[in-house]
């Protein structure tokens, strides 16, 4: 079995005032994962805290994607423990991870340029009227609320995605995950 010669590194924002006392929302402890002929992860630990940005940095093959796939329920670890809010848990599927509020936003986002920001945010789960049609007013209002929550209120919910720059498109992808 080959060890990974280029392990990933974790970079975090420094905690904001008062955040250093917060408990992690998601903790991975002693995570290991192997594939035929290579050990992708060995005894990896990571804690994610609310309100804090964390980046996984490393060369190709460092294990970043493998770790994210374990966090999002796509892969199962060979060893180690996953805890959410201090409670040990398993994430047997991406659906189970999503049920805990865990999702990944990939570099190549799946968004639709000809739809509005609000439509992209609520694609597949748009609010409905009592008649079963899309409640456009509520969808735009909810989109604005999600964008405001993540400090992206400068993005107009009615703007077509194709009219946004790449950074704002990524913010819309984050808003979609948060919705």
Q: Are residues 148 and 68 in the same domain?
A: no
Domain assignment present for 164: yes
Whether 105 is in a domain gets the answer no
Q: In whole numbers, what is the pLDDT of the chain averaged over residues? A: 87
Residue-range definition of the domain harbouring residue 79: 2-99
The pTM for the full model equals 0.64
Average pLDDT over residues 123-140: 95
Burial of 89 (0-12, 13-18, 19+ CB in 10 A): middle
Average pLDDT of span 114-133: 94
Structure tokens belonging to residue 42: 């060995």
- Residue 30 CB neighbours (<10 A): 13
Using one digit for the tens of pLDDT, what is the confidence trace for 13-70?
A: 555 555 555 789 999 999 999 999 999 999 999 999 987 878 888 888 889 999 999 9
**Higher confidence at residue 176 or residue 108?**
176
Query: 127 lies in a domain?
Result: yes
Query: Does residue 14 or residue 96 have the better pLDDT?
Result: 96
* Banded model confidence at residue 136, pLDDT cuts 50, 70, 90: very high
Average pLDDT over residues 88-115: 88
DSSP code for 73: T
Q: What is the pLDDT of residue 114?
A: 95
Q: Over 50: is that where the pLDDT of 143 sits?
A: yes
**Same-domain pairing of 53 and 9:** yes
State how beta strands 54-57 and 87-89 pair. unpaired
CA distance 137 to 160: 16
Same domain, 94 and 121: no
CATH number, domain with residue 91: 3.40.50.300
| Residue 110, domain member (yes or no) | no
Given a cut of 90, whether residue 157 has pLDDT beyond it is yes
Q: Are residues 92 and 122 in the same domain?
A: no
Whether residue 6 lies inside any domain: the answer is yes
Number of domains in the chain: 2
DSSP 161: G
Q: Are residues 86 and 23 in the same domain?
A: yes
Contact criterion met (CB below 8 Å) for 120 and 176: yes
Report residue 1's pLDDT band, with 50, 70 and 90 as the boundaries.
very low
């Amino acid at each position: 079995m080959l060890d990974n010669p280029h392990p990933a590194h974790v970079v975090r924002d420094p905690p904001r005032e008062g955040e250093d006392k917060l408990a992690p929302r998601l903790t991975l402890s002693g995570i290991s994962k192997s594939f035929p002929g290579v050990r992708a992860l060995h005894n990896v630990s990571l804690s994610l805290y609310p309100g804090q940005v964390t980046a996984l940095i490393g060369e190709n093959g460092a294990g970043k994607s493998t770790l994210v796939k374990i966090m999002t329920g796509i892969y199962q670890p060979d060893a180690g423990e996953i805890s959410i809010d201090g409670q040990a848990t398993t994430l047997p599927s991406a659906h189970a991870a999503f049920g805990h509020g865990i999702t990944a936003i990939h570099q190549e986002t799946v968004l639709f340029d000809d739809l509005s920001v609000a439509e992209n945010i609520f694609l597949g789960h748009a609010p409905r009227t009592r008649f079963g049609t899309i409640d456009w007013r509520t969808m735009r209002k909810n989109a604005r609320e999600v964008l405001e929550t993540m400090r992206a209120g400068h993005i107009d919910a009615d703007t077509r995605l194709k009219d946004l720059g790449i950074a704002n498109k990524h913010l819309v992808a984050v808003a979609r995950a948060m919705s």
